[in-house]
Structure 1
Amino acid sequence: MRLHRNLVFATIDALSEIFNDGKYADKVIEKTLKRDKRWGSRDRSFIAETTYDIVRWKRLYAEIAEVKEPFSREDLFRMFTVWCVLRGVKLPDWPQFEKAPVRRIKGKFDELSKIRKYRESIPDWMDQLGEKELGEKIWTQEIHALNNQAPVVLRANKLKTTTEELAKKLLDEGFETSNLRNYPEALELKERANIFKTKAFQDGLFEVQDASSQRVAEFLNVQPGMRVVDTCAGAGGKTLHLAALMQNKGQIIALDIYGNKLKELKRRAKRAGAHNVETRDIDSTKVIKKLYGSADRVLIDAPCSGLGVLSRNPDAKWKLQPEFLEKIKETQLEILEKYSKIVKNGGKLVYATCSILPSENEKQVQKFLKTEAGQDFILMKEKKILSSASGYDGFYMALLEKK
């Protein structure tokens, strides 16, 4: 691989914004890729993948490069040098790479690889917490799996196509996919690519949705004609899946506290041909109270630490703080108590998170069952998905029935 100056400089600029200005990696990369119209798809993927790689391994690379935050431009070039050496990329003879200590980098890597928090490049507190909650063996396997780059998985929109038809259409557009055993609507891209430019996407034939995330709507066991409330709908990945499972029959009410996310959901629903979705902003407690006792099914895809999706959001390792975790656990319980009241007698509720921590998952459900609101419910079943076992995102879901 030959390094091109403008691509390397764009990567360094992006890293500076992510590390020093605390900006979100996906937003920074999206903006960076618009900088030069002449860049081809290979150039763009170099910038995106290299930036994500260095974000993912920030702690390890900074330790090897002997640099500390905030990183100067020179520090970022030193970290980039580490990336090159460990990836076997030939260093160019630019002033920034003069006297690169190649042997020392390799030696330091070997030495630090013996210590999990450096080897897996995570903050001390996260390493301690993961071990405490999951035990040393599972945490070691899990954090290792979460450092792999996430595959790109699509969900065929059954309102418009079948998995087989979609695979054929994508192949006609030059995209190879493979079927996933045990995931009836999923296709995995064989090579990472910008799939959003395809006619198949513009025609609403699929959504990008991780295989584990596709399990959540299935878990709710919806039927056509039901009244379903998706309480933390966001931009609606799971809402659209529910609409497809309900064959557009019945009603889905998508709620969220962020109006801009619901706008995006409306746009996506239109493209997907999902006509049974209605969005409502949670701008007061009245919105929830109006729905009490009215739904056959309720989905609570709760806000969480996101530790199960680190492979697709590596910068979350550095943004997440222990204080946030304590706060979010309080929020999860409040949401469960409040939104569970929407379920009608005999109806069902799914509580789901993209976290792997028992304190956000099964322990929250047990706590909820002991509350006044929770006494009306029984736990039917729960499912824990670990990244190390599935190869996809870490997820948790619990199905509760109202007596």
Structure 2
Amino acid sequence: MPITRQLILALCECVEQTYNPNLHSDKLLTQLLQSNPHWELDERQYVVVNFYHMVRFRRLIDYLLEHHSFGSESIAKWAACSLIVGQTWPEWFDHSEIDEQSMQSSIARAEADLKLSYPNWLYELCEQQIGEQWPVIAAALNQPAEQYLRVNTLKTTLPEVIALLAKDNIQVVEIALPSHSALKVESNSHLFRSSAFQSGFFEMQDAGSQQIVPFLQVKPGQKVVDACAGAGGKTLHLAALMENRGRLLAMDIHEHKLDTLKQRAKRAGVHVIETRAIQSSKTVKRQKDKFDRVLLDVPCSGLGVLRRNPDTKWHLNLENIDTLIALQTEILQRYSQMCNVGGKLVYATCSILPAENEHQVERFLENNPNWELEESMTLLPGISSEFDGFYAARLVRKN
């Protein structure tokens, strides 16, 4: 694929906008792709990969530009990023005056000082809470995200999806997970244009995320609530494991996200879901003692999914995290009342911080002796998982 200067210019112009604290990378990238429908698949994927590289290594890129010249200022960030990730420059780019060996030495020296291109406060916070494992996790979170699918077992099987995608020249392989529904995407592809996607045969979902719902141990016919449902990725997974039988209530404070869930449920052939917007504390109180299973996938820092959302580390601050921790504590205390005696609750985050995970559960158990911890699960990229970072704790209500 020829990498044109026009392609790089469009990419760099978009990356410049990510420095605005009020703009988020995912929306900017979506706008860029939508405004260039003429780009071929390879060009689009090149832009996506390099866009996230440039956001991910923003601090290191800025350091290199401050101390070295990369020729044309308009595409300098891309050139510096290419050097950092070991990517070949196209023939049209004049790099005759760039001392690559000197710059590689610069990168090696700067990485430690620049905390692997993390903000100092964030790197130090994670180091304090996680300890000696943090540098390994930090490096793993600086890698590009792989693509994973969750097969919708209400409509199809893994072999059928693999065969259908192959017809569209999309190669996938099965990943061994408890739910037996995960596929890893191995080839460049138009996934969402495939007949399998249009038929509701799969959803895009990280393999780490796919381990949360089975951890709740749901069964067909049960009464289940996904109390922080959002757009419903885990709600749809719950419906599949419930085999479309029982009661499944999806709740969220954002009505528009529940509307998206309804559309996704229709495509997936799910008819067991009822949605309800949380308008006040009374909405939750009315559901007291009504459910066999409660999923609390609470709002969190998102530090476990930095591979997918690298700009999170540039938007977060200590005040944000403190606010999130307070909100998590409140949600766990109030929403747990929806679980009946003998029922089970899973508290989950896509964070790697103990303050959002183990410490929250420990505090809850200290204040609620009628609950006990049955099992917990921690997925740490680079340590215990090749997927995104997640935490889940399954609690049982005794009385």
Instruction: Tell me the residue number matched to 2:88.
Output: 89
Q: Distance in 2 between matches of 1:218 and 1:268?
A: 20
The answer to whether 1:172 aligns with 2:167 is: yes
The answer to whether 1:392 aligns with 2:387 is: yes
Instruction: Tell me the residue number matched to 1:153.
Output: 148
Shift of 1:193: 3.0
Per mean C-alpha deviation after superposition, the further-off stretch among 28-37 and 326-335 is: 28-37
Q: Secondary structure in 1 aligned to 2:19?
A: helix
Q: Secondary structure in 1 aligned to 2:263?
A: helix
Q: Distance in 2 between matches of 1:336 and 1:292?
A: 13
Matched AA of 1:312? R
Matched AA of 1:129? L
Structure 2 contact 170–188 (Cα < 8 Å) conserved: no
User: What TM-score, normalized by structure 1, do the two folds share?
Assistant: 0.93
- Structure-2 change in CA distance of 1:212 and 1:291 (3 Å): same
**Two-structure CA RMSD over aligned residues (Å):** 1.9
Q: Distance in 1 between matches of 2:181 and 2:66?
A: 47
Question: Which aligned pairs between 1:23-172 and structure 2 lie closer than 5 A?
Answer: 23-66=23-66, 77-86=75-84, 87-90=86-89, 100=98, 102-113=100-111, 115=112, 117-118=114-115, 120-136=116-132, 138-172=133-167
Matched AA of 1:109? I
Q: Structure 2: any 5+ residue segments left out of the alignment? A: none
Matched AA of 1:167? I
Q: Distance in 1 between matches of 2:276 and 2:90?
A: 54
Question: Which aligned pairs between 1:208-223 and structure 2 lie closer than 5 A?
Answer: 208-223=204-219
Structure 1 contact 157–205 (Cα < 8 Å) conserved: yes
Question: Which aligned pairs between 1:207-356 and structure 2 lie closer than 5 A?
Answer: 207-356=203-352
Shift of 1:111: 1.8
Matched AA of 1:165? E
Per mean C-alpha deviation after superposition, the further-off stretch among 49-58 and 16-25 is: 16-25
Instruction: Tell me the residue number matched to 1:357.
Output: 353
Per mean C-alpha deviation after superposition, the further-off stretch among 191-200 and 120-129 is: 191-200
Structure 1 contact 296–347 (Cα < 8 Å) conserved: yes
Matched AA of 1:90? W
Shift of 1:110: 2.5
Q: Secondary structure in 1 aligned to 2:274?
A: strand
Q: Distance in 2 between matches of 1:126 and 1:174?
A: 41
Q: Distance in 2 between matches of 1:352 and 1:391?
A: 18
Instruction: Tell me the residue number matched to 2:190.
Output: 194
User: What TM-score, normalized by structure 2, do the two folds share?
Assistant: 0.94
Structure 1 contact 147–310 (Cα < 8 Å) conserved: yes
Matched AA of 2:4? H
Structure 1 contact 346–401 (Cα < 8 Å) conserved: yes
Structure 1 contact 117–127 (Cα < 8 Å) conserved: no
Q: Distance in 1 between matches of 2:323 and 2:377?
A: 24
Q: Secondary structure in 2 aligned to 1:23?
A: coil
Structure 1 contact 16–76 (Cα < 8 Å) conserved: no
Q: Secondary structure in 2 aligned to 1:358?
A: coil
Q: Secondary structure in 1 aligned to 2:117?
A: coil
Q: Distance in 1 between matches of 2:262 and 2:376?
A: 30
- Structure-2 change in CA distance of 1:65 and 1:329 (3 Å): same
- Structure-2 change in CA distance of 1:271 and 1:361 (3 Å): same
Q: Distance in 1 between matches of 2:378 and 2:143?
A: 19
Shift of 1:102: 4.0
- Structure-2 change in CA distance of 1:291 and 1:336 (3 Å): same
Q: Structure 1: any 5+ residue segments left out of the alignment? A: 68-72
Structure 1 contact 308–394 (Cα < 8 Å) conserved: yes
Q: Distance in 2 between matches of 1:81 and 1:282?
A: 48
How many residues of Structure 1 are paired with residues of Structure 2 in the alignment?
Answer: 392
Q: Secondary structure in 2 aligned to 1:352?
A: strand
Q: Distance in 1 between matches of 2:122 and 2:73?
A: 25
Cα deviation digits, residues 229-275 of structure 1 (max 9, x gap): 10000000110000000000001100000111111100000000110
Structure 2 contact 251–277 (Cα < 8 Å) conserved: yes
